[in-house]
Structure 1
Amino acid sequence: MRFHVVKRDNCPLWKKLCLYVLAVAAALGLGALVLLALGVDPVSYYYRMFTMGMVGNKIAYKTFENYLKVFVPLALTSVALSLAFKMRFWNIGGEGQFILGAIAAATVAFKLGPVLPGAVTLLLMCLSAMLLAGLYGAFVAVLKVKFGTNETLMTLMLNYIALYILTFLGEAKADWNFYLDPNSVRPIFASFSDIVTFPKIPLVGKFGLNVCVLFTLVIGVLVFVYLKYTKHGYEIAVVGDSVGTAHYAGMKVNAIVLRTVFLSACLIGLAAAFKVGTAGILSTAITDDVGWTGIIVAWLSQMNTAIIFLVSALISMLRYGSTVAAATFSQVDSSFANMLQGSILFLVLAADFYTRFRVVPVQKGGKTNGNG
């Protein structure tokens, strides 16, 4: 018997939410089985992971500050990727754009930080990171509109070019390489945290809120307004639905693609500036895989800006919490978070497929059974 996949007419919101919750619960259940196989109590592990070790911790404020350092670049990168994804431009180059943005920001910090005021240096770090990352993304968009190249393949390959550039900078022990610590025998990246860093706003006790968190939230609101209430946002939606319709309506599709991809990559560069400007140092792991994880977050959120922040907060809790839990449970590697994250993605996408489509058997004669 053959089967066809047909679109569902409607699926109630309550049913969707229930299915998503069940999918996440099933993923946690699979993770629990792995933990049991490793001889770890799942309840204790998950408690440690979801609380991030803050319960009963005298320096819980520091833990939360570290958590926000994971959340900010992931949320902003996910929002940036959703811009291109809404237009059905599959920007898989978040990692490469993030790396070049980080290099640009670090370059400004090293060269201009000692001679310019801190606020001016931070602004130039953000602008340079946005420009370089934006151009890196726009390069692929130009190839797409001019020659019809596959943006998925192109952005994917450019990720590795950027990674190799960063690796080279981290290994080339030479007089010209100001990114490395000159006092170290081994090639290691130098810190510029004593030169310039993003400030914190003191709130409660010793807890300080990094200004990057506020900037990220404001940018999220602006992107939401941009997509929902502006002409440019409407054009992105039309191009994403149908390029033919956009052409018929007289829209300049090529210009829309270039503008949107450039903006998407610019925001990823800004996320990199926030990350490197907070860490005060480059590293070969500066991205923390946000370029890849951001794709997952954008898809799980169905490119909804508000939901992106919620999912980013949960994924960040999972990733950072797993690192904290791994320090307590030596049997479990911190990469357990990657496995759990993949399980959640797979099962949530399966639930999403069920809410959108249904599989029906094909009767003899080629007709589908609507009740199947």
Structure 2
Amino acid sequence: MNRKEPLFRVVKRESSSPVRQALAYVAAVVIALLIGAALLSSMDVDPLTFYQKMVTMDIPGNKFPWRIVENFVKLFVPLLITSLALSLAFRMRFWNIGGEGQFIMGAICAAAAAHKLGPVLPQPLVVLVMALCGILGGGLYGLIVALLKVRYNTNETLLTLMLNYIALYLLQFLGETKAGWNFFLDPDSARPKFAGFPDNADMITFPLGPFNLNLSLIIAIVLCVLLFGYLKYTKHGYEIAVVGDSPNTARYAGMKVGRIVVRTIFLSAALIGLAGAFYVSSAGTLSTSVTNDVGWTGIVVAWLAKLNTVGIVITALLITVLQFGCQAASTTYSSIDANFADLIQGIILFAVLAADFFTRFRLARRAAAPKEVSK
């Protein structure tokens, strides 16, 4: 029986210039924004006005613009660090989908340190201990999956995904269970409510006029530089690249693949836990919505930036502007809620992924079968 060939097949392009890719991405974003404009128009909202408020985050004309920037930084830093951390695992073809869970565990451990040590230690020391607890909380949570992967070759995608929900339900349990042992809750509240941190547990800031520069932003920038050098100029960075290309080649070259996987995944999860610690320290409390979906958005940022460190910084900045700007713009219109940012982000993602696909591949029509020559 003859096997029927498909009408079209996907063929990889021989070459794709960076200029062509950049133009394709710009066109994809423009198309996504046009789709968003059509949706806004259907809700009787002027798209140009909405996009202007979104891009400027409604800063022009605001009486307290520095507060908008401060709140923007609180969202940008966790997303940036989480995206950088996920890119470490993705470079090694280890599909860490557990950013949400690792972020939550880092936040919980940091919150525990804040409640227990905040009243007795000075602020710099409390913030440092919170950061270390966040690193350990997230790192050990990711280490579980790495060890199982190395020892039993388990599927890391499924494990990290399931551990997300375990961490989420633990957070909900802590936020809903009033008991004498649960120091996370406010004892003076009649209903279960997370307690605020002591003042010494708040993130350190440096006043620059009316603006308070968040220490976590400085640390995030330093981390970008360190990770760039780590991946590009160190032996460990080279090993990550080799294991990502071919684990068998790495073993043939004498590399201890299991040790490299465990080390890298611990580092990846630890950085995500650090992001969680920074967020709760800046927010001054724990909450059931503490992640703000950075574990999922970080995956989007890492892939859109093609795991490039500089690209991740730029993409995380643009995504945060999109999210924060949509939230700011939506307050002006009663017909739009903050979830519109997720809709626009999803449209942009699919448009950019489609542009990326067609810049690297093309659809080729099936070759016609040769006609038989009649005798």
- TM-score, normalization: structure 1? 0.96
Deviations 1:344-363 (A, max 9, x none): 11111111111211221232
Residue 226 of structure 2 corresponds to 222
Which stretches of structure 1, 4 residues or more, deviate above 3 A after TM superposition? none
Residue 110 of structure 1 corresponds to 115
Matched, 1:71 2:76: yes
Residue 334 of structure 2 corresponds to 330
**SS of aligned partner of 1:4:** strand
Q: In the aligned structure 1, how far is the partner of 2:193 from the partner of 2:312?
A: 35
**Quick one: which of 76, 80, 84 aligns to 2:85?**
80
**Gaps in structure 1 of 5+ consecutive residues:** 367-372
Residue 131 of structure 1 corresponds to 136
C-alpha RMSD of matched pairs (Å): 1.2
Q: In the aligned structure 2, how far is the partner of 1:159 from the partner of 1:193?
A: 28
Residue 200 of structure 2 corresponds to 195
**SS of aligned partner of 1:328:** coil
Structure with max Cα Rg = 2
Deviations 1:197-252 (A, max 9, x none): 1121122x201110100000000110111011111101111111111211111111
Matched, 1:35 2:40: yes
Look up the equivalent residue of 1:143 and give its one-letter code: L
Look up the equivalent residue of 1:121 and give its one-letter code: V
Shift of 1:364: 4.3
Q: In the aligned structure 1, how far is the partner of 2:184 from the partner of 2:109?
A: 11
Look up the equivalent residue of 1:351 and give its one-letter code: A
Look up the equivalent residue of 1:68 and give its one-letter code: V
**Quick one: which of 300, 303, 308 aligns to 2:307?**
303
Q: In the aligned structure 2, how far is the partner of 1:3 from the partner of 1:259?
A: 44
**SS of aligned partner of 1:5:** strand
Shift of 1:365: 6.1
Q: In the aligned structure 1, how far is the partner of 2:331 from the partner of 2:137?
A: 37
Matched, 1:260 2:269: no
Matched, 1:279 2:283: yes
Residue 293 of structure 1 corresponds to 297
Residue 367 of structure 2 corresponds to 363
1:126-275 matched pairs, under 5 angstroms? 126-203=131-208, 205-275=209-279
Residue 3 of structure 2 corresponds to none
Residue 46 of structure 1 corresponds to 51
Contact 1:193 1:279 in 2 (8 A): no
**SS of aligned partner of 2:318:** helix
**SS of aligned partner of 1:6:** strand
Give the % identical residues.
57
Moved more, 223-232 or 188-197: 188-197
**SS of aligned partner of 2:199:** coil
Q: In the aligned structure 2, how far is the partner of 1:126 from the partner of 1:58?
A: 34
Contact 1:11 1:356 in 2 (8 A): yes
Q: In the aligned structure 2, how far is the partner of 1:60 from the partner of 1:113?
A: 30
Shift of 1:71: 0.4
Q: In the aligned structure 1, how far is the partner of 2:330 from the partner of 2:344?
A: 14
Contact 2:118 2:198 in 1 (8 A): no
Shift of 1:192: 0.7
Q: In the aligned structure 2, how far is the partner of 1:359 from the partner of 1:147?
A: 39
Q: In the aligned structure 2, how far is the partner of 1:63 from the partner of 1:135?
A: 35
**Gaps in structure 2 of 5+ consecutive residues:** 1-5, 371-375
Look up the equivalent residue of 1:156 and give its one-letter code: L
Contact 2:124 2:204 in 1 (8 A): no
Look up the equivalent residue of 1:337 and give its one-letter code: A
Q: In the aligned structure 1, how far is the partner of 2:153 from the partner of 2:204?
A: 44
Residue 19 of structure 1 corresponds to 24
Q: In the aligned structure 2, how far is the partner of 1:364 from the partner of 1:137?
A: 52
Residue 340 of structure 1 corresponds to 344
Contact 2:186 2:195 in 1 (8 A): yes
Shift of 1:341: 0.6
Look up the equivalent residue of 2:256 and give its one-letter code: K
Q: In the aligned structure 2, how far is the partner of 1:193 from the partner of 1:34?
A: 45
Look up the equivalent residue of 1:226 and give its one-letter code: Y
Shift of 1:100: 0.4
Residue 369 of structure 1 corresponds to none
**Quick one: which of 56, 63, 81 aligns to 1:58?**
63
Shift of 1:254: 0.7
Contact 2:126 2:200 in 1 (8 A): no
